Structure 1
Amino acid sequence: MIQGPSDSPGVIDLLGLLAYAELGSFFRLADDAGLAPSLRSKGQLAALAAAEQAHYQTLRDRLEGLGVDPEEAMAPFVEPLDAWHSRTEPQSWLESLVKTYVGDGIAGDFYRKVAALADEETRDLVEGVLAETGRAEFVSETVRAAVDEDPKLAGRLSLWARRLVGEALSQAQAVAVARPDLAALLAKDPKASGDDGTGLGDLAAVSRMFASLTDRHSARLEAMGLSG
C-alpha cells in the first residue's frame, strides 16, 4: 500500500477535519453533561468532554509541528460539519446520546480508513485520538436502560439512528469529494481506487469506502438495544 507523507495536503486535510470534529465533540458532550438527569451521568459526560478537548489539543500540536496553522487547516470543514449538526439537531437528551454514538462512530470509521492510507505517524496519531474513552459503553448502557424502562422508545430511536447514518454518509462523502487531496489519499489504496487513467478513480474509491462504513452500524444499534 502506498502511504502519503505526513505533510501531504491530504494528511493535513485529515488532521484539520478531525481537529474540528474533536472540538465540536467537546462542546456537545459538555452540553450533554449539563442536561444529564443524574450527577453520575453529569460526571461521566464531563470526563468524556475533557478527553475530547485533550484530543483536539493533540491534533493542534501535530499541525503546528508540521508548520501548519491549525485554524487554517480546520477552516474548510467548519461549514460542512456545522451544517451536518444543524440538520441533525436532537430533540431530547437520549437522541443526543444516540447521535454521539452513531454519528461519531461512523465518522471515526471514516477517519481510520483514511489514516490507514497515510504515513505511520499519522495513522498512530489518529488511532490514539479515536481510542475509546468509555463513551461507547456509557451511551450504550444508558440508552439500553432507557429502552428497557420504556420499550416504546426503541422504534423512535431506531429511526433516528437510521437517519443519522444517512446524513453522516452523505455529508462525509460531500466533504471528501470537495477536498480532492483527501479523495486522492483514499485512492492511494490500489484495492480501492480502480484508477483507469480517466481521473475518476478517486471518486470511485470514495464511493466504495463509504459503502463499507455501515458494517458496524448494526452492532452499535444492538449495543443500545435498538433494532436495525
Structure 2
Amino acid sequence: MVRWFWQRKPQRRPLALRSRGDLGDATRVDFAELAPELSRFLGQAAYLQLGYFETLSRGIRGTPELSTKESLARAAGTALDKHRGIVALITERGEDPTELMLPFRENLDAFRRKTIGARPEETLLAVYLTSGMLDDFYLALASSYGETGERVAEILRVDGARPEIVPIIQSAIESDPEWRSLLSMWGRRLVGDTLLVCRGALRPEHLADADTRIEPVYTELMGAHARRMDAMGLAS
C-alpha cells in the first residue's frame, strides 16, 4: 500500500494537499466539515472489509490451485481482521455493529457486484485496486475522529492484499500477454465506481460542493491507483 503523508499518525488539523499541477502552495482540505458522523464512518468502514472478506472467500472456493487458495486465504484473513477490529471499536462505544452496517449493505453490495469480473483474475485485481483506494480514503477521513480515528488508521494500514494478490496477477500476465491489455482496461473501469463510494461516505448535506472541495484528494487517490497499476506493468 502506498504510504501517503496522511497515513502517519493523524493530527488534529486540516489535511494539506497539493492541488493538481501546483508544485508550490498547498490546498487545504478540512475533513472535519466533510467527514460523516463517527458512527456512520465506522459502519461503512466495517462493512467494506466484510465485503472484501466475502469476495476473497468465494475466490478460494473457485480456484483449484492450492498455492492460490493459501494466498487468498491470507488476504481474506486480513480483511476479516480489519472488519473485526472496527467492529470491536463500535462495540466499545456501546453501539450495535449490525445496525451501523445495515444502511450500507445495499449500496456496497451493488458496488461489489459491479467489481466482480468475468474471470477470477479480474475480480482479484478489483479487490486489490479498490481496497487500496478506499483504505487510503478512509485513512484520510480517520484524521477527523481523534483517538478513535487513530485506532481505525492503525487497522487500515495493514496491507494484506498486495503481497498475496499481486503475484497471482503478475503470474497471469506472464503466462499470456493478452492479460495485460485486458486487465489494464478493467483496472481503468474500476476508478469511477470507487470514487462514487468515496463520495457517498461524506456528509450528505455537503455533497453539493464536495467534489470541488476534495478534488485534491481524488487526484491523490487516482495517482496512487496509477502507481499500483504501473507496478504490475499495467497501463493506467
Same fold (TM over 0.5): yes
Correspondence for 1:58: 85
Q: Tell me, yes or no, if the aligned pair for 2:75 and 2:164 is still in contact at 8 Å.
A: no
**Which of 202, 208, 214 is residue 222 of structure 2 equivalent to?**
214
**Which of 158, 163, 170 is residue 144 of structure 1 equivalent to?**
170
Secondary structure in 2 aligned to 1:226?
A: coil
Does residue 176 of the first structure (1) align with residue 184 of the second (2)? Answer: no
Alignment of 1:88-103 (within 5 A): 88-103=115-130
Correspondence for 2:25: none
Q: Per-residue deviation at 1:91?
A: 0.6
Correspondence for 2:61: 34
Q: Tell me, yes or no, if the aligned pair for 2:86 and 2:155 is still in contact at 8 Å.
A: no
Give the alignment's Cα RMSD to 1 decimal: 2.5
Whole-Å separation in 1 of the counterparts to 2:60 and 2:126: 14
Q: Tell me, yes or no, if the aligned pair for 1:4 and 1:11 is still in contact at 8 Å.
A: no
Q: Per-residue deviation at 1:15?
A: 1.0
Q: What's the CA shift string for 1:106-153, capped at 9, x where partnerless? A: 1111111111222133223333234113x2022222111211221111
Whole-Å separation in 2 of the counterparts to 1:146 and 1:61: 37
Correspondence for 1:71: 98
Question: Residues 79 and 211 of structure 1: is their aligned pair in 2 closer, same or farther, counting only changes over 3 Å?
Answer: farther
Q: Tell me, yes or no, if the aligned pair for 1:4 and 1:119 is still in contact at 8 Å.
A: no
Question: Residues 208 and 45 of structure 1: is their aligned pair in 2 closer, same or farther, counting only changes over 3 Å?
Answer: same
Whole-Å separation in 2 of the counterparts to 1:4 and 1:149: 44
Secondary structure in 1 aligned to 2:55?
A: helix
Whole-Å separation in 2 of the counterparts to 1:143 and 1:122: 33
Whole-Å separation in 1 of the counterparts to 2:126 and 2:49: 14
Question: Residues 142 and 9 of structure 1: is their aligned pair in 2 closer, same or farther, counting only changes over 3 Å?
Answer: closer
Does residue 16 of the first structure (1) align with residue 16 of the second (2)? Answer: no
Q: Tell me, yes or no, if the aligned pair for 1:25 and 1:52 is still in contact at 8 Å.
A: yes
Runs of 5+ consecutive residues of structure 2 not aligned to the other structure:
1-12, 15-29
Runs of 5+ consecutive residues of structure 1 not aligned to the other structure:
185-199
Q: Tell me, yes or no, if the aligned pair for 2:31 and 2:141 is still in contact at 8 Å.
A: no
Question: Residues 55 and 15 of structure 1: is their aligned pair in 2 closer, same or farther, counting only changes over 3 Å?
Answer: same
Whole-Å separation in 1 of the counterparts to 2:158 and 2:81: 12
Q: Per-residue deviation at 1:42?
A: 0.4
The percent identity for this pair of structures is 29
Question: Residues 120 and 4 of structure 1: is their aligned pair in 2 closer, same or farther, counting only changes over 3 Å?
Answer: farther
The total of aligned residue pairs comes to 207
Secondary structure in 2 aligned to 1:156?
A: helix
Q: Per-residue deviation at 1:210?
A: 2.5
Question: Residues 77 and 207 of structure 1: is their aligned pair in 2 closer, same or farther, counting only changes over 3 Å?
Answer: farther
Does residue 112 of the first structure (1) align with residue 139 of the second (2)? Answer: yes
Q: Per-residue deviation at 1:72?
A: 1.7
Q: Tell me, yes or no, if the aligned pair for 1:23 and 1:53 is still in contact at 8 Å.
A: yes
Deviates more, 1:12-21 or 1:209-218: 209-218
Question: Residues 71 and 213 of structure 1: is their aligned pair in 2 closer, same or farther, counting only changes over 3 Å?
Answer: same
